């Protein structure tokens, strides 16, 4: 029974949509619309069965409620999953757009794993409740990576100040895992700010190219979590922080953009027990969603987006202070703050 499912958290609505003509099998979940329309991307993915798809949507939509609330956005949390099966045709995406439109704006979609900005354009033929469309120029829209990197940069500054008493990055040693759209932009910013960088990417040549350009050191991908540094910054995969990697960390701070960095909630406690300050992922990586929502709401001038991203620094200071006061892990503190904001 769905109401007893471990990941069910009084979600406001769960919509199952099937379109026989196009092979669409989708689940759209609205966790909370307390702060505004439920916003969150659509994932195109292979699931073992319907229950696995539902679990993913329940979990991800709650995560979006927390993320949007902590980013100070007037948006709730939702998520859609389309179960991979039939080919992803334009007709299927249009059918999906029709389902979103039938919700009357209570759910706003965007890209997630397996969906592109071109797919969003097809969906937009049937509904206006879609963001993340390709944008030529402008402050908002387009690739959110640089905005996310800016948020991680200011958020890492808060962590370094809190934990190390350092107010700039001069000489601060940061080990970066993943040099993609976010990690690459972050490495550039940190290099300009005078940080000492150790870099790794599964694409070794990419790490070496960045290292050569930024005067940094590249290490094999398997070594990056064990580098002795001030900060470990995960910008590649989720679930990178588990019992084994946490035991091997030689840093004081973990601060990076990757989603769902903690393999399990216990891993937040493990980090705290080791005295490692963890910047909760959905708080520090909100720069991209701030940019995307500005585009959707049409509030996308560069200055207001930048101000909104800058507030990530103060928000993390608040979380770190409360964690210290209460003796609770930072991720648990962030979850409580987010739940209070959405009236739970
Ligand atoms: P990306 O796909 O542009 O870059 C990922 C990079 O990590 C690639 O260079 C890839 O070669 C590398 N990589 C993959 N597996 C690796 C491994 N095992 N070890 C080391 N490097 C590995 O992705 P992007 O956009 O930079 O996102 C990075 C992370 O941040 C993801 O977890 C993403 O979900 C998260 N995120 C991204 C946002 C954005 O605005 N792009 C917003 C919020 C979160």
pLDDT at 4 over 70: yes
Task: Please tell me if the CB atom of residue 148 comes closer than 6 angstroms to any atom of ligand 1.
Answer: yes
Q: Read off the pTM.
A: 0.93
At 246-288, the pLDDT tens digits run: 999 999 999 999 999 999 989 999 999 999 999 999 999 999 8
Average pLDDT of the residues of the chain: 94
Residue 141 has pLDDT above 60, yes or no: no
Determine the atom of ligand 1 nearest the C-alpha atom of 147: 40
178 lines ligand 1 (CB under 6 A): yes
Residues 300-319: what's their mean pLDDT?
A: 94
Strand extents, DSSP E, 259-320 = 277-278
Residue 133: per-residue pLDDT: 67
CATH of the domain at 180: 3.40.50.720
Is residue 132's pLDDT more than 80?
no
Residue 294: what pLDDT? 87
Ligand 1 atom closest to 203 (CA): 11
- Judge if the beta carbon of residue 290 lies within 6 A of ligand 1: no
Residue 133 or residue 302, greater confidence: 302
In-domain check, residue 113: yes
Residue 152 pLDDT exceeds 80: yes
Q: Is 98 in the pocket of ligand 1 (CB under 6 A)?
A: no
User: What separation in angstroms does the CA of 275 have from each of 165, 206, 222, 257?
Assistant: 15, 32, 23, 21
Distance 31 CA to ligand 1 centre (A): 26
Closest approach atom of ligand 1 to CA 238: 32
Contact 259, 145 (CB under 8 A): no
Q: How many CB atoms lie within 10 A of CB 314?
A: 11
pLDDT of residue 140: 44
Domain harbouring 70, CATH code? 3.40.50.10860
Residue 334 CA to its chain's centroid (Å): 14
Q: Provide the pLDDT confidence category of residue 137 given band limits of 50, 70 and 90.
A: very low
Same domain? For 73 and 149 the reply is no
Cβ(177) to ligand 1 under 6 A? yes
| Ligand 1: centre distance to CA 238 (Å) | 9
Shared-domain flag, residues 215 and 72: no
Residue 293 in domain: no
Contact criterion met (CB below 8 Å) for 2 and 15: no
CA of 41 to the centre of ligand 1 (A): 16
291 CA closest ligand 1 atom index: 40
**Marked catalytic residue, from 79, 128, 163, 250:** 79
Is residue 129 assigned to a domain? no
- Average pLDDT, integer, range 141-157: 89
Distance (angstroms) between ligand 1 centre and the Cα of 91 equals 30
Q: Name the residue of 60, 182, 240 whose CB sits within 8 Å of the most ligand 1 atoms, as the mutation to test its pocket.
A: 182
- At residue 226 the predicted structure's pLDDT band, cuts being 50, 70 and 90, is very high
Has residue 303 been placed in a domain? Answer: no
Q: Which domain holds residue 153?
A: 145-287+311-341
Is 91 in the same domain as 198? no
Mean per-residue pLDDT for 27-37? 98
Burial environment of residue 102 by CB neighbours within 10 A (0 to 12, 13 to 18, 19 or more): middle
What are the residues whose beta carbons fall under 8 Å from the beta carbon of 215, sequence distance 6 or more?
A: 191
Task: Report the pLDDT averaged over residues 132-148.
Answer: 65
Question: What local confidence, expressed as pLDDT, does residue 142 receive?
Answer: 63
Q: Which of 243, 237, 244, 278 is nearest to 260 (CA)?
A: 237
Instruction: Specify whether 79 is catalytic.
Output: yes
The percent of residues above 70 in pLDDT, for the chain, comes to 97
Q: Indicate the number of domains in the chain.
A: 2
159-187 pLDDT, tens digit per residue, is 999 999 999 999 999 999 999 999 999 99
């Amino acid at each position: 029974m769905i109401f007893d499912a471990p990941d069910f958290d009084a979600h406001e609505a769960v919509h199952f949509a099937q379109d026989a003509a196009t092979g669409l099998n989708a689940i759209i979940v609205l966790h909370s619309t307390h702060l505004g329309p439920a916003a969150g991307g659509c994932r195109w993915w292979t699931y073992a069965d319907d229950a696995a798809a539902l679990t993913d949507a329940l979990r991800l939509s709650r995560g979006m409620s927390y993320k949007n609330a902590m980013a100070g956005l007037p948006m709730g949390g939702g998520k859609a999953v389309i179960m991979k099966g039939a080919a992803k045709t334009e007709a299927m995406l249009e059918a999906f757009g029709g389902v979103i439109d039938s919700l009357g704006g209570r759910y706003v979609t965007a890209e997630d794993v397996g969906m592109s900005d071109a797919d969003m354009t097809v969906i937009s033929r049937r509904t206006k409740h879609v963001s993340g469309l390709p944008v030529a120029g402008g402050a908002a829209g387009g690739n959110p990576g640089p905005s996310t990197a800016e948020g991680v940069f200011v958020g890492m500054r808060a962590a370094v100040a809190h934990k190390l008493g350092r107010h700039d990055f001069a000489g601060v040693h940061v080990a970066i895992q993943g040099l993609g759209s976010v990690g690459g932009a972050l490495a550039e910013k940190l290099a300009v700010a005078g940080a000492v960088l150790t870099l790794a990417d599964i694409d070794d040549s990419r790490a070496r190219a960045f290292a050569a350009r930024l005067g940094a050191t590249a290490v094999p991908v398997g070594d990056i979590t064990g580098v002795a540094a001030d900060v470990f910054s995960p910008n590649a995969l989720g679930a990178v922080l588990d019992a084994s990697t946490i035991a091997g960390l030689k840093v004081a701070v973990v601060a990076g953009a990757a989603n769902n960095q903690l393999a399990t909630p216990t891993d937040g406690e493990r980090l705290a027990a080791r005295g490692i300050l963890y910047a909760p992922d959905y708080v520090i990586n909100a720069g991209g969603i701030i940019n995307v929502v500005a585009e959707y709401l049409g509030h996308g001038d560069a200055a207001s987006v930048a101000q909104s991203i800058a507030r990530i620094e103060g928000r993390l200071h608040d979380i770190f202070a409360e964690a210290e006061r209460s003796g609770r892990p930072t991720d648990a503190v962030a979850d409580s703050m987010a739940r209070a904001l959405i009236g739970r």
